Chains A and B, each alone.
Chain A
Amino acid sequence: MKEISELQLPEDVRYAEDHEWAKSQGDVLRVGISDYAQDQLGDIVFVELPQAGDRLKKGDEFGTVESVKAVSELFMPVSGEITAVNGALEDAPELVNTAPYSDGWMIDVKPDDPSELDALMDRDAYLDMLKGSEQ
């Protein structure tokens, strides 16, 4: 597993406590899981995602991610409507491991309240949280 200093933690996304990231793309937010999360899970073999059109609240489970050693629930970082899911993960779930912030994205959400994005952590706050949990 990676040391914290080895993690890719881009500046242009926001992070949730459950290790999802969200990034503004026009009027939708793109959501995935962080490099830390994919690294902790190990080789990902299956990703279960919601259907476009589903409406979910912040903190609701929007899917599951299954690795060779664990299954984890995925939680909504903001409330809103799912506008798209990454169909590529059906055949290539390992994209979450290899490119967690680009090709390994999971869902697009049209947020009910765009300002909910600002309530999420920036890179430094997330990094502090990770360092705290490592101690």
Chain B
Amino acid sequence: MRYLPHTEQEIAEMLQAVGAEHLNDLFSTIPDSCCTLQQLDLPDPLTEWELNEHMSGLAASMAVAPEAKVFLGAGSYDHYTPAAAVQLLSRGEFVTAYTPYQPEVSQGTLQAIYEYQTLVTRLLGMDVANASMYDGASALAEALLMAVRVTRRKKVAVSEAVHPLYRRVVNTYFHPTEFEVVEVPYGKDGRTDLSRIGSLEEMAAVAVQSPNFFGCIEDLQAVSERVHTDAKTLFIVGFTEPLAYGLLKSPGGHGADIACGEGQSLGIPRSFGGPGLGMFAAKMTYVRQMPGRLIGQTMDKDGRRAFVLTLATREQHIRREKATSNICSNQGLCATASAIYMASLGGTGIRGLARLNYDKAEYLKTAFHDAGLAVAFGSPTFNEFVIRFPEGSEQTYRRLLEKNIVAGLPLVRYYPNLKDHYLLCVTETASKEDMDTLVREVAS
């Protein structure tokens, strides 16, 4: 669709038709206190040459793989994307953030999203997935609100081993509501403290992340059993690295009621933090309380397979303030990207890639251990883990940055008690040589 702004003449004709003198008259009902009355303080426009130079300057100020050796995950992961996926995604027909509601003109996009939903349910072992949310953090917040609607209870519990920024988004969602968010501490092994889950009462939901923020794989079976001792409480499994489920038993296989998280890992570039992809799936029992949009398969009047927006009666344009969520769009392009990525790799490919990530991360973890550094938590991990650096780690971190090596994430920023602890990530893109260099530099 092309966007062509109106000409001065057209604007004048329209103003005349509605009986207004100036364009601003149309906004006269907005109080001055809500308007920016002075001109915006914007720099002068640049030529294409100047703009390119400006952008190159910005890029040079950042550490980007593969020029820099980046051992940083923490919710955003560096993976190879097959060239076929990039090529297919460049097709203009896919470029939209919206879930189209006119099936008569949108079969291609609707089918792409339907395939995405199908692949998500398979990866996560769930019954039904939506057309996607904005990102992993908003998906988790929406999942908790959904649990409140399903159970009609007022409290939710979230593990402290869930991504700290996700918890911040959850608190932003919940702050204006009457509902309460309780945090569940993690134990010495870096996993959510099971004994603390047992003491929770009247919870709408208990949410953990696996692999969690420390890279530790939660004992989802044990958590699930503990959570479900209260039959009404929903068990929510979050994630930032869905690739892990190529190797690990799925959230659905452990009895998750809702599985949700970030899908950037599956064929979407890191782009310094966005855009992301909120993957969201649930048990069929709860489908009518799901947020976001759903694409369903049906037949047209000639009996041919067709795709449509389905169960739209949950949505804002029909239910207004009673909708299950205020999200009526999705991450259309990112969802399509991840569907193409998953389909390109296939089940075997995803499993093989997950195995490769695990093996490489184990190699680095063992190398740190052999070099005499402490692996902070004993639980099994996937492609991230926490290492305690020797004292004076801030200097080490800065020294490595100057050598173009990003030695993970200093956890003290989010967990003040974890001084000198660094969260390191290894994906298939890390070479043995780079990992050996990292260990040598940190240990020296």
> Main SS of the interface on chain A?
strand
Which residue in A46, A51, A70, A73 is a CB contact (below 8 Å) of B288? A46
Q: Is B196 an interface residue (CB 8 A)?
A: no
Chain B residues near A51 (CB-CB < 8 A): 152
Q: Is the CB of A71 within 8 A of B313?
A: yes
Interface residues of A in 13-67 (CB under 8 A from B): 46, 48, 51, 64, 66
Q: Is the CB of A48 within 8 A of B152?
A: no
Q: A48 to B322, alpha carbons, bound, how many Å?
A: 13
A-B contact count (CB 8 A): 10
Chain A residues near B319 (CB-CB < 8 A): 71
Interface residues of B in 296-348 (CB under 8 A from A): 313, 318-319, 322
**Shortest distance from the beta carbon of B294 to any chain A beta carbon, whole Å:** 14
**Shortest distance from the beta carbon of B164 to any chain A beta carbon, whole Å:** 36
**Shortest distance from the beta carbon of A128 to any chain B beta carbon, whole Å:** 31
**Shortest distance from the beta carbon of B282 to any chain A beta carbon, whole Å:** 16
Q: Is the CB of B313 within 8 A of A66?
A: yes
Chain B residues near A64 (CB-CB < 8 A): 322
Chain B residues near A71 (CB-CB < 8 A): 313, 318-319
Chain B residues near A48 (CB-CB < 8 A): 288
Q: A72 to B425, alpha carbons, bound, how many Å?
A: 51
In this complex, the interface size class of chain A, counting residues with CB under 8 Å from chain B, is under 10
Q: A70 to B319, alpha carbons, bound, how many Å?
A: 9
Q: A58 to B420, alpha carbons, bound, how many Å?
A: 62
Q: A64 to B288, alpha carbons, bound, how many Å?
A: 12
**Shortest distance from the beta carbon of A35 to any chain B beta carbon, whole Å:** 22
- Residue of B288, B313, B319, B322 with most partner-chain A CB within 10 A: B313
Q: A73 to B313, alpha carbons, bound, how many Å?
A: 12
Contact string, B206-241, partner A, CB cutoff 8 A, digits 1/0? 000000000000000000000000000000000000
Q: A116 to B318, alpha carbons, bound, how many Å?
A: 33
Chain A residues near B313 (CB-CB < 8 A): 66, 70-71
Q: A73 to B318, alpha carbons, bound, how many Å?
A: 12
Q: A71 to B312, alpha carbons, bound, how many Å?
A: 10
Chain B: CB-nearest residue to A73:
B322
Q: A73 to B319, alpha carbons, bound, how many Å?
A: 10
**Shortest distance from the beta carbon of B189 to any chain A beta carbon, whole Å:** 39
**Shortest distance from the beta carbon of A120 to any chain B beta carbon, whole Å:** 26
**Shortest distance from the beta carbon of B315 to any chain A beta carbon, whole Å:** 10
Chain A residues near B318 (CB-CB < 8 A): 71
Q: A28 to B313, alpha carbons, bound, how many Å?
A: 32
Q: A70 to B152, alpha carbons, bound, how many Å?
A: 24
**Shortest distance from the beta carbon of A62 to any chain B beta carbon, whole Å:** 13
Q: A51 to B153, alpha carbons, bound, how many Å?
A: 13
Chain B residues near A73 (CB-CB < 8 A): 322
A-B contact pairs, 10 of them (CB 8 A): A46-B288, A48-B288, A51-B152, A64-B322, A66-B313, A70-B313, A71-B313, A71-B318, A71-B319, A73-B322
Interface residues of A (CB under 8 A from B): 46, 48, 51, 64, 66, 70-71, 73
Interface residues of B (CB under 8 A from A): 152, 288, 313, 318-319, 322
- Please give 8 more A-B residue pairs, beta carbons under 8 A apart, in addition to A48-B288, A51-B152: A46-B288, A64-B322, A66-B313, A70-B313, A71-B313, A71-B318, A71-B319, A73-B322
Closest A-B pairs by Cβ, 5 of them: A71-B313, A66-B313, A71-B319, A71-B318, A46-B288
